[in-house]
Amino acid sequence: MNNQRDPSNKSGDHGQPFEIIINAEKFEVLQKELSFRELCLLAYPDAVFGDNWAWTVTYADPHGPEGSLVDNAPPIKIKKGMVFNVGRSDKS
């Protein structure tokens, strides 16, 4: 299944969409960069941010490093084939 969602285009545009993977689901994105929250919203369109929710975002670049993102960090540069794992948990 291909999803094409554009949470915001403020991070720039590649012109043509390319594929990334989020939680084992294919997405086509146009942005050159995505923020922590934009990735969370792609994975969970009903995302709620606040004290009762804990979010994790990890990534693997097939041609580069692996790592994790935190909220309020600078956006990450998006490359074709990147794999993201986005998790959420209710702290209640």
pTM: 0.82
pLDDT over threshold 70, residue 3: no
Domain that holds residue 83: 2-90
What CATH number has the domain bearing residue 16? 3.10.20
- Give 46-67 pLDDT, tens digit per residue: 999 988 899 999 999 988 889 9
Please tell me the total count of domains within the chain: 1
When pLDDT is averaged across residues 12-23 and rounded to a whole number, the result is 84
Residue 8: pLDDT band (50, 70, 90) is very low
- CB atoms near residue 80 (< 10 Å): 13
When pLDDT is averaged across residues 20-29 and rounded to a whole number, the result is 96
Segments in the chain forming alpha helices (H): 36-43
Residue 75 DSSP code: P
